[in-house]
Amino acid sequence: MIQINNLKKHYGMDETLIKAVDDIKVHIEQGEYVSIIGPSGSGKSTLMNILGCLDKPTSGDYELDNNNVSQLSNNHLADIRNSKIGFVFQSFNLLPKLTALENVELPLIYTGIRKKERIKMAKAVLDKVGLSDRYSHKPSELSGGQKQRVAVARALVNNPAIILADEPTGNLDTKSTADILQLFDALHKEGATIIIVTHEDDVASHTNRTITVRDGNIADDRRIL
């Protein structure tokens, strides 16, 4: 599913050179449930941006779902983000003026799917995350846990190859955190490929594989069976 080789991301030149990601090699199979942990400044955010096709590596290869995406144009990357990746952010990143349904529809607009079909698909995923009674609520009318479930629904709606969650429980209380992690567990059981970037061991312990990043390199890669 994901095949990364000699991946490097450098910023600046000569003396000010920062090696945010310095030679990472990792392989993630379809259906894996992975967490990436590491202290701040370790390079895990940069890695996450490259995994999410928001950023391009300085060198190295990144193969996602059999496509080499490491040096694609911005427009192609937008297509990849749209069709292959479902994002879940720490701060939800829902559009405040749109309803839950409209927020979930967003990626489908850029795919070019018709309104009628969009609504059907968006309702289906909202039902799946247990928000069938919240279609027309604005984000401000939803609790933190509900907002994050809308975000998960939005990530799922395009049936992506991977779900990429960046500190998905960082802004949630214990109860909501448990809810969301349960949701991820359930998605994993259905066969989804999930990557969670986090610094909480509790969250990492839910996953089957924990990759620890330090100083731009993978310091540890542990599978729990």
9 binds another protein (CB under 8 A): no
Q: How many residues in the shown chain lie near another protein by CB under 8 A?
A: 26
Query: Which CB, 196 or 204, lies closer to another protein?
Result: 196
b vs e for 28-46, b when ≥16 Cβ sit within 10 Å of the residue's Cβ? beeebbbbbbbeeebbbbb
- When binding is defined by CB under 8 A, the residue of 9, 128, 147, 154 that contacts another protein is 154
- When binding is defined by CB under 8 A, the residue of 18, 41, 110, 201 that contacts another protein is 110
Rounded CA-CA distance 26/63 in Å is 11
Q: How far is the CB of 224 from another protein (least distance, A)?
A: 30
40 binds another protein (CB under 8 A): no
75 binds another protein (CB under 8 A): yes
Sheet of 217-223, strands arranged across: 85-88, 162-166, 193-197, 33-37, 209-214, 217-223
Residue 141 to residues 31, 66, 144, 157, 197, Cα–Cα distance (Å): 34, 41, 10, 22, 27
- Contact yes or no for 104/122 (Cβ under 8 A): yes
Q: How far is the CB of 60 from another protein (least distance, A)?
A: 18
Residue 63 to residues 4, 41, 52, 67, Cα–Cα distance (Å): 6, 25, 12, 5
Q: How far is the CB of 99 from another protein (least distance, A)?
A: 11
70 binds another protein (CB under 8 A): no
Residues forming the site for another protein (CB under 8 A) = 49, 52, 54-55, 74-75, 78-79, 81-83, 87, 89, 93-95, 97, 106-107, 109-112, 114, 154, 158
